[in-house]
Amino acid sequence: MGDRNNTKWSRFRYTPGLPLYGEERVTSGTGHLTLSEVAAGEGIVLLKNDGALPLAGGTRVALFGKATFDYVKGGGGSGDVNVSHTVNIYDGLKAFPDWIRVSEATIPFYRGHVEKELAEGKLPGFVSEPALPGDLLKKAAAEADVAIISICRYSGEGWDRKTDQSVRGESVGGPGAEDQSAMLFERGDFYLSKAEQALVAGVKKAFSRVVVLLNVGGVIESEWFASDKKINAVLLTGQGGICGGRAAAAALLGVINPSGRLIDTWAADIEDYPSTKGFFKSDAYVEYEEDIFVGYRYFSTIKGADERVVYPFGYGMGYSDFDLESMQARELDGAIEAEVTVVNRGPLPGKEVLQLYAELPQGKLGKPARTLAAFAKTKLLMPGDSQRLLLRVKLDDLASYDDTGKVKKSAWILEKGNYRFYLGTNVRDAWPIEYEYVLTRDRIVKQLTEKIAPKALKRRLTADGRYEKLETSKTSSKNEAKKLKPLPLSEWDGYAPAARAIPQRFVYQPDKSVHSLDEVADGRLTMSAFMKQLTDEDLIWMFSGQPNTGVANTWGFGNNERFGIPNVMTADGPAGLRTQAETGVTTTAWPVASTLAATWNTELVTAVGEAAAEEVKENNIGVWLAPAINIHRSPFCGRNFEYFSEDPFLTGIMAAAVIRGVQSKRIGATIKHFAFNNKETNRRESDSRVSERAAREIYLKGFEIAIRESDPWCVMTSYNLVNGEHTSSNEELLTGILRGEWGYEGLIMTDWWSTGDPYRDLLAGIDLRMPNGVPDRIRAALDKGLISRKDLERSAKRILELLLKLD
């Protein structure tokens, strides 16, 4: 292996050898490729192992499955990245010639098949699984001791994974993405296709040792390998970005000791998830009837549900065993602290993840049986080494929200009773610690007022497995009465921002009759004095996105040369810097969010944020449209790869880690999609019908944590409606909760071509409408008195304040 100990990423200890690319550019340079591989390796989860892994030196292996070459680095749509290359499984293993012997028996067959179908227009991940000729299987068995089967999945923006293939979305992930998926997977891609089943059966018959690699960004069926003794080991490699194939190879060989942990619950069947039944009930709405019982909160609470879990939340094996010793717990300054010593008892260096779960008193509100309250990951421990870890949770952060008045309406409450805590390595294998916190009376943590209450959700699940009826709100938005004649979608949807017609000289000359934004930056002029110069027209145009420059393909903002306001570009994320393909600029594809979260390593994730920002900055981009932090409510959601987890606490902490890294380079981070974007089908008009409690405890909590911990400079709203109103036009959500309750002072932008009315977005709290703010519409609203100059100034001020933060 090449020595990379001189790089700034060496503190993560696994230092892979990569080809030396030219170091003239930071973007996709050696240091970033190395970090991407490190992150991919640490996000790998060992699901099963009977001793087959790690492979011993000199082991002869044969490779099976089209995913050997059809490696999926990430998902489709805005989360995709233009790269110079992708390291697949075969190339990854061939990078270790002194460690392993790879049979070439199946290689020409799979390589040729993948190249042929990609040339015909198939998307990566959607190449068909070819029937392996018997003679090739026989030859491979004669040349190898271990079979490695690779399985991959691909999903993307604008469409959802399905079992019912009759439902269609927008397929932003590429032309015909849903149709290609339907052709490959008879029952939907949660399950193995018939071709994959045949491949697995044939390989098991020919080999006594079989290892499976899962190159997937979300949950799939797992009983087929979990209970099959003929499948000896399974690695969930996730979607590891540009160097993911080499990271997978390193895990197979024991170059790295897998320390990734599951960020979702893996149940036996798609029907076991409570969100499945109603997911495709209607294109017009989704009813969040499972309420706060999402993921492990459901499976650990509802009677009998845990029996359907194959791999629990937080689960993951490794090549070393760890002991937990000298466990202590106490209450200190309004927080519970748990300390434990972790000892590596195994033969290899490795890391362990400790997870602290809380069991709250059921009280009148009802609670999940387990709630993740804190976690910590050890450093790399040598055999015999130990580390003392401290896990801490504020008691106030364990409060539940009362949305119906069972204790105190519209309040965060700690109900009286015993608060118990469990420490372990996953939600199922977390054992009680010898400490309980006892509260003798109910305590109101924070009194609020009702916001975004459901208007059509009629019932929700409770902790005893029954459903309770919900009262529905009859109130309407404060700006419901402020309307212009509806704006036809055809007049603005899909249109890039217009360029404002302003006379310009061939050679730029500053207008000395006005003050420049530079004077505000230098402290020579106040922001209010600067803004007084701006006309209504200046403010109206600032509310809209601005034309692309350079490598950007998601447009900019600002852009008033007369006043020295730059046109700052944005760029898609979160798996890397997405550029205009026609420019030929390639960037680093980082592991997808679900793989980064599986590292449970905030320091590493922050480093990825720093490196991503360096590429953004080098390419003259000012704001990165990442991270995306919606909850994995259902395995069906087509963008789960782009989001972190089913758990809001893990989601918020990981998002904050990314944001800290990005903004340390004075590049703006953007958390998205605020909020309830848990389904892609008809995403622009689908109504997320959710209780106020579930909204606050599950779907908004990750955003709240990220804002509290890292103060992202931008928030992007989602396309969908929540309880009958588009999020971009929802004043209770944006001004009431985001700004009023959480104290957020940054910029709020819409998602691209959101269908909320532009002027109503402005009134609700939007500062920037992307990419086209429809200036004529805003002018008409101003002329009719539906909006004021003060509304425009408020948004313009936040745009200008953001510009002053950027480097």
Q: For 32-145, where are the E strands, in sequence order?
A: 45-49, 59-64, 100-102
Residues 6+ away with beta carbon under 8 Å from 788: 782
Quickly tell me which residue has 């897998």 as its tokens.
Answer: 258
Select which of 751, 761, 767, 791 is catalytic: 751
In 3D space, the residue among 195, 63, 73, 159 whose CA is nearest the CA of residue 575 turns out to be 73
Nearest to 63 by CA among 252, 226, 194, 190: 252
Distance, CA of 721 to CA of 145 (rounded, Å): 55
> Strand 459-461 and strand 400-402: pairing?
unpaired
CA atoms within 13 A on the CB side of 148: 34
Using alpha carbons, select from 40, 30, 41 the residue that is nearest to residue 8. Answer: 30
704 by Cβ neighbours in 10 Å (0-12 / 13-18 / 19+) ranks as middle
Q: How many alpha carbons fall within 13 Å on the CB side of residue 341?
A: 7
Residues 6+ apart with CB under 8 A from 15: 1, 2, 3, 4, 5, 7, 9, 34, 38
> Cα–Cα distance between 787 and 218 in angstroms, integer?
44
Question: What distance in Å separates the CA atoms of residue 579 and residue 624, rounded to the nearest whole number?
Answer: 11
3-state DSSP of 564-613: CEEEEEEEECCCCCECCHHHCCCCCCCCCHHHHHCCCCHHHHHHHHHHHH
Helices (H) and strands (E) in the chain, counts: 22, 30
Q: Which H/E stretch holds residue 528?
A: helix 527-532
Q: CA 379 to CA 702: how far, in whole Å? A: 26
Q: Which of 594, 615, 616 is nearest to 605 (CA)?
A: 594
Contact 213, 3 (CB under 8 A): no
Cα 306–chain centre separation: 25
* Separation CA 300–CA 429 (nearest Å): 12
At how many degrees (to 10) do helices 775-783 and 789-805 cross?
Answer: 140
Alpha helices, H only, 750-788: 758-764, 775-783
Q: Identify the residue whose tokens are 């032309």.
A: 175
What residue type is 706 in one-letter code? A
Distance CA 121, CA 178 (A): 14
| Residue located via tokens 């920037």 | 768
Using alpha carbons, list the distances in angstroms from residue 391 to 355, 394, 424: 8, 10, 12
> Does 538 participate in catalysis according to the annotation?
no
Active-site amino acid positions: 751
